[in-house]
């Protein structure tokens, strides 16, 4: 916490001289209508400069981190005007792997029961979000508020194929839905660069379908199904407890 305060104080000291919302070179400090932005997690940057100040010689390099704990979700904004922004979140993940000539231990005794098995894994992860953000205040420190909705879908499947063996294991598909309002603060420490954080309150729904495993071995087929699960929540949140670093262009 002390390191974070030192960084913010240093940024204030460096930039406080430009009171007319322009840099010394005339570049606007605040974003303008039509500007786009991308957000990254600021933790690694704050730690890096904090370690420089306290003399830490084992300093990890700064890196691009996901915002608000949303792993693999890209976040950004588009400025409709000086006081209104559209927010967006997106992840479109699809993948598969194939491994040939694998050995499989069916009874768990540590010895291979079947050789030359082809194993395939595949899955998808989709996360989409949209919202609107309104700004209040003047100067470099600006409050904001708004609302957004998010939807997430996920699935995975593994198959084994051999001469006497066929296995298909499907995890239950997941569905997530979130609707939230938020309020926060954003500080512009340099032209079109800012630090921000927010709190929120909203509704969260999650549902996972039943898994299913079908095994065909030596002419015999067996199908096993798992249970379903679901959850519901209505509460405040702190958006992953993250401070975000925003770039506008």
Cross-strand pairs, 178: 150, 204
Q: Report pLDDT for 27.
A: 87
Give the distance, in angstroms, between the CA of residue 100 and the centroid of all CA atoms in the same chain.
33
User: Measured on CA atoms in the order 234, 236, 237, 243, is the torsion positive or negative?
Assistant: positive
Domains identified in the chain, total number: 1
Q: Which helix (H) or strand (E) holds 228?
A: none
- In angstroms, the CA 210 to CA 173 distance is 8
- Residue spans of the chain under pLDDT 50: 1-2, 4-10, 12-19, 48
Q: Report pLDDT for 165.
A: 83
- In angstroms, the CA 126 to CA 33 distance is 30
- In angstroms, the CA 244 to CA 247 distance is 10
Structural domain boundaries, residue 82: 2-240+244-248
Contact 223, 210 (CB under 8 A): no
Of the candidates 166, 157, 159, the one whose C-alpha atom is nearest the C-alpha of residue 215 is 166
Q: Report pLDDT for 227.
A: 93
- In angstroms, the CA 235 to CA 6 distance is 32
């Amino acid at each position: 916490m002390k390191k974070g305060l030192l960084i913010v104080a240093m940024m204030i000291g460096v930039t406080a001289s430009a009171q007319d919302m322009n840099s010394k070179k005339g570049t606007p400090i605040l974003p303008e209508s039509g500007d786009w932005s991308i957000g990254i997690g600021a933790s690694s940057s704050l730690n890096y400069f904090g370690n420089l100040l306290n003399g830490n010689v084992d300093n990890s390099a700064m890196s691009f981190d996901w915002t608000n704990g949303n792993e693999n979700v890209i976040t950004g904004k588009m400025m409709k005007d000086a006081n209104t922004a559209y927010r967006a979140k997106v992840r479109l993940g699809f993948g598969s792997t194939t491994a040939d000539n694998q050995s499989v231990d069916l009874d768990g005794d540590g010895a291979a029961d079947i050789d030359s098995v082809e194993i395939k894994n595949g899955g998808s992860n989709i996360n989409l979000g949209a919202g609107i953000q309104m700004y209040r205040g003047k100067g470099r420190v600006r409050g904001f508020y708004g609302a957004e909705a998010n939807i997430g879908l996920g699935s995975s499947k593994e198959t084994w194929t051999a001469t006497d063996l066929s296995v298909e294991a499907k995890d239950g598909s997941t569905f997530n839905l979130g609707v939230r309002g938020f309020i926060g603060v954003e500080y512009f420490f340099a032209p079109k660069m800012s630090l921000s954080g927010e709190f929120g309150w909203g509704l969260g729904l999650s549902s996972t379908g039943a898994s299913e495993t079908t095994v065909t071995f030596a002419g015999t087929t067996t199908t096993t199904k798992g249970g379903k699960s679901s959850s519901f929540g209505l509460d405040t949140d702190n958006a992953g407890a993250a401070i975000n670093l925003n770039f506008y262009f």
